[in-house]
């Protein structure tokens, strides 16, 4: 559902009938299950094989819970539980006999919530199902709240709304995503949005900074190693791809990977198989990969430093996050978000930003993007007295090399050929403006202008800018 289409209140929505899929070869058990749960208002879908179950799962868009009886169930070439977990938000409960404990334990690795040992009384199954559907409803409501928050956060910016809508569309899939943009534009933030809105949200989000891992350690960090594989390998180590099984692996600064590391990553992306260093057997994982870069990968391909086949493997969907200077309409919402965060962190109660501080924040260029804005607000919250952030609480670098901000009472146009200001007029107007910002505090004004107090005093006299 697109964020702006979501209901804003509880409303009088008709409650959807809960759907439960039962996969079992036991006809009599299915009949008892169907009769008992249909009476409780559930819609029961049945399958006597994994092949039929795949058909039902492809046809039905929303299934709330799956009971999978693995007793006498032939193995499938495709992992059914992983398929369910990546395409549906349904909880999977495995039913097994006492002789199938090992197989039941393996299903937990594929994404099953838990297993129950047969025989199981119908009243016990009812209790389990009630808890599962209640938890599913809470999770659905939480995701609705998150989507509303994100929609509000991006409000006012058509470019960001477009990116958010695309993110919501691709989130339920397992497709690989490449996110581009300058440093600090929120690439990891959007990767986490995609993860949170996907079917993998309960599994791990594992982040790796490709630029921070030396080439010699890439394979060990990425795939793991066996004990004794090399000097210092004193134990088995799980790699990042295993840690992200059933979840999302975020590869930041993908453009920093060396050519040998690119080959290893490409091979993994092709079949999701890998081998720990020193191991003799391959392993398979179900991982969604999201990569990010602040580099021009097409240019790197032309230069021969980035593999073309890897680029096209990663670039199934592409999201470009514009720099903050190109979406300044989102600044007020971001400021509000950071104020809330740092109020809690520093036990403050900042409730507003002064007009002058607002003007400075709005007109700054933000070479460090959102990360820099966050640092600026943290700086201001720490220094602020009372419940308001003023221009005095902002970092000094926001005032350096800064010409006229906005002096509405004067004609300060520098672009009109009919009225070009002299350098003296520009200097006078700028000093006058900064004096206004500091309430004619000469020491603070001189500091912000980068001149001595005596120089400021002389210019104030020359330009007749005293407070009177």
- Tokens 């330009």 locate to 463
Could you tell me the pTM of the whole model? Answer: 0.62
pLDDT at 324: 92
pLDDT at 143: 66
pLDDT at 420: 59
Pairing of strands 224-225, 237-238: antiparallel
Q: How far apart are CA 374 and CA 369, in angstroms?
A: 9
Low pLDDT (below 50) residues in the chain: 1-14, 77, 403-416, 468
pLDDT at 3: 37
pLDDT at 68: 92
Q: How far apart are CA 366 and CA 185, in angstroms?
A: 10
Q: Could you report the per-residue pLDDT of 180-209, keeping only the tens digit for each?
A: 999 999 899 899 989 988 878 878 999 999
Q: Could you report the per-residue pLDDT of 72-127, keeping only the tens digit for each?
A: 887 664 578 877 776 676 788 999 988 888 888 888 877 788 889 888 888 888 88
Q: How far apart are CA 275 and CA 268, in angstroms?
A: 10
Q: Which residues, in sequence order, are CB contacts of 106 under 8 Å at separation 6+?
A: none
User: 137-167: b or e for each residue (b if 16 or more CB lie within 10 Å)?
Assistant: eeeeeebeeebeebbebbbebeebbebbeeb
Q: For the chain, list the domains and their CATH numbers.
A: 17-140 (3.40.50.2300), 158-322 (3.40.50.300), 324-398 (1.10.8.60), 399-468 (1.10.10)
pLDDT at 16: 65
């Amino acid at each position: 559902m697109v964020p702006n289409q979501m209901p804003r209140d509880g409303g009088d929505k008709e409650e959807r009938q809960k759907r439960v899929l039962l996969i079992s070869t036991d006809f009599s058990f299915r009949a008892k299950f169907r009769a008992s749960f249909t009476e409780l208002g559930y819609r029961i879908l049945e399958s006597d094989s994994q092949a039929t179950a795949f058909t039902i799962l492809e046809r039905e868009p929303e299934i709330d819970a799956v009971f999978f009886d693995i007793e006498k169930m032939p193995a499938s070439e495709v992992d059914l539980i992983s398929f369910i977990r990546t395409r549906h938000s349904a909880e999977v409960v495995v039913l097994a006999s006492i002789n199938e404990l090992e197989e039941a334990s393996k299903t937990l690795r594929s994404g099953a919530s838990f297993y129950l040992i047969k025989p199981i009384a119908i009243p016990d199954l009812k209790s389990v199902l009630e808890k599962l559907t209640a938890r599913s409803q809470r999770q659905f409501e939480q995701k609705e709240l998150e989507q509303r928050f994100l929609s509000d956060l991006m409000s006012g910016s058509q470019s960001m709304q477009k990116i958010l809508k695309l993110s919501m569309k691709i989130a339920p899939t397992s497709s690989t995503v490449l996110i581009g943009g300058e440093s600090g534009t929120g690439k990891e933030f959007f990767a986490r949005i995609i993860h949170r809105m996907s079917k993998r949200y309960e599994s791990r989000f594992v982040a790796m900074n490709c630029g921070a891992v030396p080439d010699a350690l890439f394979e060990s960090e990425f795939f793991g190693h066996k004990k004794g594989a090399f000097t210092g390998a004193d134990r088995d180590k799980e790699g990042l791809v295993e840690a992200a099984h059933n979840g999302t692996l975020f590869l930041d600064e993908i453009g920093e990977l060396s050519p040998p590391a690119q080959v290893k990553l490409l091979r993994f992306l092709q079949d999701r198989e890998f081998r720990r260093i020193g191991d003799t057997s391959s392993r398979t994982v179900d991982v969604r990969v999201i990569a990010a870069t602040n580099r021009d990968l097409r240019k790197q391909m032309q230069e021969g430093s980035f593999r073309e086949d890897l680029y096209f493997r990663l670039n199934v969907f592409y999201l470009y996050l514009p720099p903050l200077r190109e979406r300044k309409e989102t600044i007020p919402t971001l400021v509000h978000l950071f104020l809330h965060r740092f109020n809690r962190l520093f036990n403050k109660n900042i409730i507003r930003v002064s007009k002058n501080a607002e003007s400075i924040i709005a007109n700054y260029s933000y070479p460090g993007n959102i990360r820099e804005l966050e640092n600026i607000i943290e700086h201001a919250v720490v220094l602020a007295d009372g419940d308001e952030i003023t221009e005095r609480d902002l970092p000094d670098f926001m005032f350096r090399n800064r010409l006229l901000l906005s002096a509405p009472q004067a004609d300060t146009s520098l672009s009109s050929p009919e009225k070009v200001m002299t350098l003296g007029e520009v200097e006078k107007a700028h000093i006058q403006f900064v004096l206004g910002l500091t309430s004619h505090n000469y020491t603070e004004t001189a500091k912000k202008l980068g001149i001595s107090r005596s120089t400021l005093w002389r210019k104030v006299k020359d330009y007749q800018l005293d407070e009177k």
